[in-house]
Amino acid sequence: MAPLYRGIGGVTTLIEHYLTLADQLRDKTSAEPRLQLLAGGPWPVVCFRIADPDEGDPDTLHAGVARHVQDNGRAHLATVAVRGRTVLRACMCNYRTTTDDLDLLISEVLHAADAQDRALTRANGRPTHGWSPNASTGGPG
């Protein structure tokens, strides 16, 4: 349907938009010390994880982060298994997505990770990720 509506040139432009956004998200993910880029490549998909959680199950952490982001309704994020581990997966496939949306996604992921950390801290009495959710730099605390 899209080729009929947009024409081949329009579809090509749309795919190029998705690929550009994915490259930008890979760059933003790589620049954020609390995140680790896991998979890139030529597709409009970016797989990443919360960097170096010290304790707890990383698979549970990532599933909880994705669920929290989805529940907030401001960004879309899924999980996928990479090398047998659950990680976060963002796919660029909406023509309305902008660079600002990528910034929002990263912010939502970090906020969700902080919420997961607070919940686990309440459960076991200590932080679980080796960084402070209230660190002013957003980096290791």
Q: Give the per-residue pLDDT at 105.
A: 97
Helix (H) or strand (E) holding 44: none
CB atoms within 10 A of CB 31: 10
- In this structure, are residues 33 and 112 in contact, taking their beta carbons and an 8 Å threshold? no
* Coil, helix or strand at residue 115: helix
Nearest of 44, 52, 16, 25 to residue 108 by alpha carbon: 25
CB atoms within 10 A of CB 21: 21
What's the confidence (pLDDT) of residue 7? 76
Name the 3-class secondary structure at 120: helix
| pTM of this structure | 0.79
Residue spans of the chain under pLDDT 50 = 1, 128, 130-141
Q: What pLDDT was estimated at residue 57?
A: 87
